[in-house]
Amino acid sequence: MKTVVFYYVRHGKTEFNKQGIMQGQVDSPLVKEGLPVLERDAFVLKDVPFQRCFSSPLYRAVNTAEIILKDRNIPIEPLDDLIEMNFGDIDGKPHKDHKWTMLLMHAIDNFHFIHGESASDVRKRAGKAFKYMYDQCNDGDHVLVAGHGSFYMYMLEELMHQNRMQALMSLKPYGIPNGFISVITCTDGEYKIVSYPQTAEEFDQSKGIL
């Protein structure tokens, strides 16, 4: 029997987050005012004995992993399948100018109509990414995963075998804020959410367990 523990952290607040720009596979740097959130993440995760770290290849995620792993000799391994959803023609555009398009595409779970990805595309990537990470790790490994918000929702659907409504209801009490921490275990291919998205303070109080 083999168990791997994944600590999934959403990237910190970015320039595009601050400006209200839709940010899928476009990228922007972390902003200074969001760094304390990641520094608190680093503090509450300081005693987790990470053996591996995988990250979306987007710099906002890589930079998040760098902050959390500061002074640890752990390489950050970019993994293309962890990249955020592609929002197609509205990726990188102001949310206020395209909010109805965004709502419609999310409602039908398919951005193919505007040259992006579908929910199915992202779910397949999520399943592939976690299988790869699990296969690369040893029993008992603790793994930092630096990723994205929309990706997390579709990942939840895929790994937990949930439909959209179930995933939304699961996330409703928690939201998906920048810098959240969520703990997921995998034992012989079976996944379990140990904790849904938590702030560093919530994580510290619960010790990562709901």
Q: How far from the centroid of its chain's Cα atoms is residue 171's Cα?
A: 13
What CATH number is given to the structural domain containing 113? 3.40.50.1240
Confirm whether 106 is a catalytic residue.
no
Domain around 74 = 3-206
Confirm whether 11 is a catalytic residue.
yes
Q: What is the number of structural domains in the chain?
A: 1
Cβ–Cβ under 8 Å, residues 198 and 174: yes
pLDDT digits (tens, 9 = 90+) for 37-59: 999 999 999 999 999 999 999 99
Active-site pick, 15, 84, 106, 115:
84
Say what the pLDDT of residue 100 is: 96
Query: DSSP string of 65-134?
Result: HHHHTTT----EEE-GGGSPP--GGGTTSBHHHHHHHHHHHHHTTB-GGGTS-BHHHHHHHHHHHHHHHH
Say what the pLDDT of residue 126 is: 98
Q: Which stretches in the chain have pLDDT values below 70?
A: 208-210
Say what the pLDDT of residue 209 is: 61
Say what the pLDDT of residue 166 is: 86
Distance CA 167, CA 144 (A): 22
User: What pTM did the predictor assign?
Assistant: 0.95
| Per-residue tokens: 136 | 């690369």
Say what the pLDDT of residue 106 is: 87
Say what the pLDDT of residue 164 is: 82
